[in-house]
Each structure stands twice: as C-alpha cells, then as structure tokens.
Amino acid sequence: MVGGGAFNLPSDMAAAANSGPVILGWLITGIGMIALVLVFHNLTNRKAELDGGIYGYTRAGFGEYLGFNSAYGYWMSTLLGNLAFFTLLFSSLSYFFPIFGEGNNLPSIIASSALLWAVHALILSGVKEASLVNLITTIGKMIPIFVFLVLIVFAFHYDVFLQDFWGPDTRGFDWKIVKEQVKETMLVTLWTFVGVEGAVVMSGRAKKKKDVGRATVIGLLGTMTIYILISILSLGVMSRSKLADLKAPSLAYVLEHVVGPWGAVLINIGLIVSIAGALLGWTLLAIELPYVAGREGVFPSWFAKENKNGSPSASLWVSNGIVQLFIIIVLFSESTYQIVYSMASVAILLPYLFSALYQVKLVGTGETYEKGDSRTKDMIIGLIASLYSMWLVYAAGLDYLLLTAVIYATGLFLYGKARAEKGEKWFRPGESLLALFILGAAVFAIYMMWIGQIQPGA
C-alpha cells in the first residue's frame, strides 16, 4: 500500500479540499475501508477455497462474465498503478537529475523501460526471492516517513490548519462546498489504500489462511494512521494553496520547508526506495491474478504457465508488455501521475463493490453459516462496504467511469478466447446485455475524447 501515494499526499489532498473536508474525507474513507477489509477478512475465512480472492468472490456470487470483468479490471488497475509509480519515480529523480522533468519525457520513458525489464528478470528468478527484496524496501521506505512525522509535529501551527477550515472564503460550514470537496478527496484516499487486498490476491501462496485476514487488517490500520497524520499535519505547516502547488513528491518539499534541503533529499531517497519495492509488489499482484484466472479457466489457459522457478512467466510477459505499451503512450499523451493513478483507482472499483455485495449475498442466503449463527454484524459490514464502494463510483465522476469502460471493453477478446477453450458460448443469458452496455459506453467515451469533451485531469 505504501507506494507513491503517501509521498504525494500533502499536495493531492490540498488540491482537493480544505482542512475540515479533508478530515471528513478520511473519516468516510476510514469507515469504508475498514468495512471492506473486514469483508475480505470474513470472505477469506468462509470461502478459503477461492484463490485469487477478490475476483473469485465476484465469479462465485455473480457469474462468469462479471467474474472475468472483476479479474480484468483488477489486472488493468495494477498495471496502471505500476505506470503511475514509474511517472512519480522519475519525477522524484528529477530533484537530483533535472533531465527527467515530470517523469513523462523521453529520458524518463527510456529509464522506466530499463527498470521495468530489470524487475521482470528479478521476478522470473522466483516469487519468493522477489518478495524478500520487497520486504527490505518496505523497511527502507518507512524510515524517512517516520522522520517526517516526528519533525513535522514541531512545525505544526493551528492558525495555519484552521485557516478557511471548511472552504475557501467561507465564514462557516456550507454543505454544498464541503460535499464537493469531500468528493474530490475520494480518488486520492482510495489510491493510497489500493493494495489492501494484496494478501487476499496472494492467498493461494499462504501457509495459513488465517494469516491472510490478519495481514490485511494490520496493514490497513497501520497505513491509515500514517496517511491521516501526513495529510493533516501538512495542512498545519503550509497553507492549502502552497501545498497544492508543490511538485511531486510534495512530502519532500514540505519537509524542505521545515528543515531545509536535506529534508527533500531524505524524502526523495525514501520515495525511490519505496517505489522500487512497490513496483515489485504491484507486479507480483498484477501477474498473480491472471495466473489464477488462467488456471481456473476464466482467462485463456496459457496465462497459467510457470517457468522452472515457479514464477507465472506467461502472465508476467503479457503484463509487462502492456506496461511497456502504457509507458510509451505516456510520452505522447503527457499523462501525469495524478491522471494515471485516478484511472487505476476507478478500474478497481468493480472488484471492490462486488466483493462487498458477495458478503451481503452470503449472509442473505445463509451459505457457510451454521444454524443459530448471528449474521447481523456481517450484514451491517457488508452493507457499509457496498455503500462506500457505490459512493466511490459516484465520486469518480462520469469522465473517469467512461474511460474505465474503454478498459473493460478491451477484455472481450480474452473472455471469448477463454470461453472457446472450454467449448462454451461467449455469454450466458443476460450477460450479452452487460457486454453491449460496456461496448456502447466505450464507443461513446472514445467519441467524447475525439471531440475534446472528455479530458481527464483537466
């Protein structure tokens, strides 16, 4: 989870909202993400046979085609997440080497490509070996974050934090302004938590299933504490307008404002270490789900191929090939870190929503529950997680939802190939209407981009 999002939280949150709405945004996110994590925890225990969890829940509860879309959307989200990390990494390196600009120019593209295939080679040597490197980088990235939090406490000023608390140039609480600002924080906060389901996705490699739920809950509570402290304390050090204008990674420039240039150097080094680990971790997530889906016949079977070291080699080659294509596209589209992570966040909404709905369905049908078991708590948690996921869909906005339809539409070929391998028709009753809806939305999105009506990040 702690990849690039934490290192740009000060400016991302300040660009979205003032101090009061930021607190409300974290409150909503905290309740929603805790509910989602408890859903993952519960489903991991009750449906331990479903490897790859987050997509398996959708498939088991709502059919083959929605299950495929959940897997495909999650896969695309992780690939876009890696693209966001590359962009932020070289934007950070530009502090030391200005040649990299904002991380989306030609030198950045060349360097990103080289790093991509270095990570590729490491994972081919074995998943366990790559996970060990990820553990080392996790320790390395937490040190500068903790230094930041300790030092920033002494620079915090209540008058700066309370300035325009509920909104710009307002004397008090205006729900219309507050609601819009809270809504603007949602994709930012969601992005920082994407990855919380990582233990569930990798559940097929766990020695004990109970460790999957435990790792998920501990991971969420730890990172949530870090994120809230970073965003709130930063709003008490610099004004919202100054924070919003900071270059990525803004955490570096907030600490530079407090202690001088060495603070920016420390944070930038920490971010480089962090993203190195995040690239590994996210690539492992990206290749695991297609691998499991290929093994279960939801993706074409060749996704399930392994090399002699037990790495999902076919899934890895396809995944990194797509990331390489994304990297090249960034050069010509000049996409920024914020635009890419927003796309990644929206693409993952379907897997989150249907995981929550699956818990509601299990409680309703009584499946996995013994006679006399109380289901009330699980139903409440499932409903909260479902409502939070629906709120995120609303908060994402029409532009990003339409662009996500384009992503989902590109998966139709893979779905058809997987169905053909099993000698089955492409769609079951009712699924064809959903496919037509996705295709229609994708065509409309492409047309709106063509005429300039959809401009992400504008």
CA separation (Å) from 430 to 73, 419, 436, 440, 442?
20, 16, 10, 16, 19
What rounded mean pLDDT belongs to the chain? 83
> In angstroms, rounded to a whole number, what is the distance separating the alpha carbons of residues 233 and 148?
10
144 pLDDT above the threshold of 60:
yes
Report residue 137's pLDDT band, with 50, 70 and 90 as the boundaries.
confident
> How do the domains of the chain map onto residue ranges?
5-450
* Contact between residue 262 and residue 184 where contact means Cβ atoms under 8 Å apart: no
DSSP for 96-142, written as a single string: T-GGGTTTTSHHHHHHHHHHHHHHHHHHHT-HHHHHHHHHHHHHHHH
178 pLDDT above the threshold of 70:
yes
Q: How many CB atoms lie within 10 A of CB 110?
A: 13
Q: Give the contacts of 173 (CB within 8 A, at least 6 positions apart).
A: 20, 166
* Tokens encoding 174: 């205006």
Where does residue 169 fall: left (phi above 0), alpha (psi -120 to 50 degrees), or beta otherwise?
Answer: left
196 pLDDT above the threshold of 80:
no
Report residue 152's pLDDT band, with 50, 70 and 90 as the boundaries.
very high
Report residue 293's pLDDT band, with 50, 70 and 90 as the boundaries.
confident
Percent of the chain with pLDDT over 90: 17
CA separation (Å) from 422 to 61, 63, 313?
21, 16, 22
Q: In CATH, which superfamily holds the domain spanning 5-450?
A: Amino acid/polyamine transporter I (1.20.1740.10)
When mean pLDDT is compared over 71-75, 149-153, 215-219, 347-351, the highest value belongs to: 149-153
* Contact between residue 100 and residue 107 where contact means Cβ atoms under 8 Å apart: yes
Query: Residue 66: what pLDDT?
Result: 87
If we measure between CA atoms, which residue out of 139, 116, 112, 57 comes closest to residue 357? 57
pLDDT in tens, 352-380: 899 899 999 999 998 888 877 778 899 99
Query: Residue 3: what pLDDT?
Result: 64
DSSP for 188-221, written as a single string: HHHHHHTTTTHHHHTGGG-SSHHHHHHHHHHHHH
